[in-house]
Structure 1
């Protein structure tokens, strides 16, 4: 029987190849990241199955992202204090159990509660997976190992809609979550058998216990309150009429107060849950903001492209997801290409090139029309698939540059938290822009639908004649013509609103370019972690 692989990379004869460990942790990370998007194309099924609005259904995505980000900021300390393998197994077991409970949810409240637990558990898996890879490989091979891991992290959000669409169309939306059950159990067995904590990690755990180093409960609570209330404001703002609602005013006040209290606390306390000084530096702070922006674009487009395909083009959930799949294949290839480029080209230039490519992809989507075909959306994801790896891999080298070894775990957690927090913010912003601009465009279009307008009069007569030829009497034909024109106005307003969403995402991506260019040059041996 193969022996377990030590996380320090030290092995004895007959030990399992570390690449097996890389694949195991990549599978677990893939499963966790997959759940950020697998439910996106199933939101219509969830909405109908639970009897809720589409806006409420979107909370299934944002609740997971925010709880995941909250857990990320605490994962580093907990893993060090209680043991990396033990913490990883607990997270994996909890994630698997919560996934099954999500699939068995009976109403919106239960689904959101189980998604929150799922997000908390998943938040500890990705950074610990990175630590396992770092310690399992010698420095000269870590880049290749992290390329495998990077494929899992970047491709999973793209495969999610395809898999979620197939399961929703052919089984039910419940299987978007239930599928994690057997995969999670299998991953649990492999991690238990193949992975163990290195002596250095055990020594660190005993040192923290001996010195009485405790978890920063106050700092964690303040940050969790800030992120949770921020999500509530963004999620409920549109339906509650923003600051005309006392609920939004109170929640926003709590959000601001939590942030205002968190900053001095994190600066003053001896062992803060996060080192907020990292975000204040030019190098890491810029990388943090870049990851926020890219997370917003990745998750928002992965939700809204399938949404427009289903609502405006009549695609099934499966075909809506398939429109994103070719982009995932491009991303997979580009991950390995970028892994080689990052050793030859400064990360700042690769990040800028990636942001420009993503901005072009968003501008390309602004050309959306009612007769856009499947190839149009595949091409848009093709450009996005090129741009994303040009950011995700180089930003690692840039963000770790100049950090002390004891800061790398927190840096990893913060970068991952930025991706998920940005994704939640991106979905909320896009949802609000879509709702507001659709109303605005509809009101603008309706102004031209008056009997005195020659174009409207001619269209009404033409459509009325069409329905009359189909056998309708004069009055019915007129009513049908008016109804048909009303549907066209709604359709046009919807397309124009989606164009506005993609324009905003293009501006966000373009804003990343100057941020990337102000990064300093990275030395010849950047930190290998992703």
Structure 2
């Protein structure tokens, strides 16, 4: 039985590097399914620890500043690998890069679960993010290489769904796993699926051939500049909201180092005889617009994924299960819209499609900007459903505009750069909304204080009423009054925080409206045209 199964896998894994699009549909779907699941694992693990950082901190005897690096290390390393993956895929072949990435991702997951200190955890999380980052852009480039016609129309929809649902599920699933078992199982759950993905990848992914000589010609200065630039930028964005941005010496130094590295990165990209990252895809104006759209979509997607659970936890006091069931409306709406988006992409001009998508996304954010401190599942259902639908109408045309016009060799680099834009948009979005949330909460609290100062009678009467009710729990009138004032202050703080959330969602809505201005400048794209043949083949 085992021998027969291996034989079938070998048959499915025949070498199709000369003409990947000619392989049988069964082989295409198997390759795409394996790689898409690997992408899901990598994106799922970005946020899986976010709801369990307190447990990780306690388990490893770490400080609050140290435990935050469990997230930051993963994101920094992933950002570096995403654009690097194109060069490595050309040198190693897509098959062996994906096998290496899936295998090392599985190994690093095991070691994260076995971590004995916060230092070892951070190191293994960085390795996990670095190796997992390669699986994200590879599936995009392979999907657009092996599929043509109507089949290709489903690629942006399916991968867009994975890109949104995986990080959305991460915090909720992580909280449930920690409650049911232990925080170490956040990483152990990757082992069995990781082994399966790695094993299948060995047998079935044969879509191109390796060029090992490229390893001898690596421009190490280009690689170092890219790593320092992206790592430094991610550090500034992650730590900035907590450390007063450039008011902190460490953030300021990191920012300047990242800027210098960026200049060197550009110089090497243009003048190196063998650049690690080729910026040639940016010669196509449509690709540039698609990347800007992806930056905006990443900003709105990750910021909204971050903000709604924070609102539910801090304002409504929801637990992880309640938050998960509330925000999952976005995922359900998105799954329902996959077929709609893929069919529309074959029948209408993609510029009309992304116009509707951006407009709906803006409307969903505008609806959310009317939240009160009493909003829950039903009040958030419509805005989140609209956002889930809008996401697919934004992602499908932006992916198609970006990747449908490149031959396989250049497609790798285009996919890496395009996916980098989404992740950068998300990192920038979370950093910006974190800062705005703090600032706007202070502003709203000050305005509430001013209004209460102008009409102190209502506040005084409310506190007196609360003190009478508190008297039932304490015989001391002074203690009852103190409790009443504390409760009133918490209510006022909750309302100020809710106003801040509304302000941020309103600003984000305007950002999507502004993005609509770029749509008329995009050229029409035909998704059903095959990818131009690669001259190398």
Q: TM-score, normalised by structure 1?
A: 0.89
Q: Output the CA distance in 2 between the equivalents of 1:287 and 1:15.
A: 29
TM-superposed deviation, 1:346? 1.5
Q: Partners in 2 of 1:258 and 1:311 — Cα distance? A: 38
Cα distance, 1:473 vs structure 2: 2.5
* Separation (CA, whole Å) in 2 of partners of 1:143 and 1:448: 55
Per-residue CA shift, 1:63-114, capped at 9, x if unaligned?
Answer: 4333212101111111111222111111001111222333344555443332
- 1:328 paired to 2:366: no
SS of residue in 2 equivalent to 1:324? helix
Specify the alignment match of 1:365 in structure 2.
Answer: 368
**How far apart in 1 are the matches of 2:21 and 2:499?**
59
2:202 matched residue in structure 1 = 192
Question: Residues 278 and 55 (structure 1 numbering): CA distance in 2 closer, same or farther, change over 3 Å?
Answer: farther
Secondary structure, in 3 states, of the residue corresponding to 2:373? coil
Q: In structure 1, how many angstroms separate the alpha carbons of the residues matched to 2:189 and 2:530? A: 35
Change in CA separation of 1:252 and 1:150 when aligned onto 2, cut-off 3 Å: closer
Q: Give 1:191 shift.
A: 1.7
Residues 42-121 of structure 1 correspond to what in structure 2 (within 5 A)?
Answer: 42-43=52-53, 45-46=55-56, 60-105=70-115, 108-121=118-131
Deviations 1:255-302 (A, max 9, x none): 221122222221112232223343365321121111112112222222
- After superposing the two structures, state which structure 1 stretch, 442-451 or 251-260, moved more: 442-451
CA contact (8 A) 2:83 2:416 kept: yes
SS of match in other structure, 2:273: coil
**Cα RMSD (Å):** 3.0
Q: Is the 8 A contact 1:22 1:148 kept in 2?
A: no
- Aligned partner of 1:434 in structure 2 is 437
Q: Is the counterpart of residue 30 in structure 1 residue 40 in structure 2? A: yes
User: CA–CA distance in 1 between the matches of 2:156 and 2:62?
Assistant: 41
Pairing 1:252–2:255 present: yes
1:175 to 2:213 alignment = no
Q: What's the CA shift for 1:436?
A: 2.5
- Does residue 1:475 correspond to 2:478, yes or no? yes
- Contact 1:295–1:418 (CA under 8 A) maintained in structure 2: yes
Partner of 2:13: 5
User: Is 1:226 aligned to 2:229, yes or no?
Assistant: yes
Map 1:391-410 onto structure 2 (within 5 A). 391-400=394-403, 403=406, 406-410=409-413
Where in structure 2 are the equivalents of 1:452-471 lying within 5 Å? 453-471=456-474
* Count, aligned residues: 522
1:47 CA displacement: 5.8
Greater mean deviation of Cα atoms: 35-44 or 114-123: 35-44
Question: Please, which of 312, 315, 329 is the counterpart of residue 312 of structure 1?
Answer: 315
1:354 aligns with 2:357: yes
How far apart are 1:370 and its partner, in Å?
A: 1.7
Give the Cα–Cα distance (whole angstroms) in 2 for the partners of residues 354 and 459 of structure 1: 46
Deviations 1:167-192 (A, max 9, x none): 23323333332211111112112222
Instruction: Answer yes or no: is the 8 Å Cα contact 1:161–1:324 preserved in 2.
Output: no
Q: 1:212 to 1:194 in 2, by over 3 A?
A: closer
Query: Is residue 357–residue 384 contact of structure 1 (8 Å, CA) maintained in 2?
Result: yes
Aligned pair in 2 of structure 1 residues 147, 463: CA closer, same or farther (>3 Å)?
closer
User: 2:59 & 2:140 partners in 1: Cα distance?
Assistant: 38
8 Å contact from structure 1 (residues 352, 517) kept in 2: no
Contact map agreement 2:42 2:135 (CA 8 A) in 1: yes
Are 1:216 and 1:271, in contact at CA under 8 Å, matched by a contact in 2? yes
2:298 aligned with 1:295: yes
Instruction: Give 1:430 shift.
Output: 1.6
User: Which residue number in structure 2 is paired with residue 383 of structure 1?
Assistant: 386
> Could you tell me how far 1:223 is from its partner in structure 2?
2.0
Contact 1:95/1:117, CA 8 A, preserved across alignment: yes
Which residue is 2:535 aligned to?
none
- The answer as to 2:139 corresponding to 1:129 is yes
CA contact (8 A) 2:177 2:183 kept: yes
Kept in 1: contact 2:21–2:148 (CA 8 A): no
With 352-361 and 271-280 compared, the bigger mean Cα shift is at 271-280
Q: Structure 2: which 5+ runs fail to align?
A: 533-537
Q: Is the 8 A contact 1:37 1:299 kept in 2?
A: no
Contact 1:397 1:527 in 2 (8 A): no
Alpha-carbon distance between aligned partners in 1 of 2:377 and 2:59, rounded to the nearest angstrom: 28
Distance in 1, Cα, partners of 2:70 & 2:200:
30
Gaps of 5+ in 1: none
Q: How far apart, CA to CA, are the structure 2 residues paired with 1:103 and 1:446? A: 48
Residue 501 of structure 1 pairs with residue 509 of structure 2: no
Q: Secondary structure at the match of 1:287?
A: helix
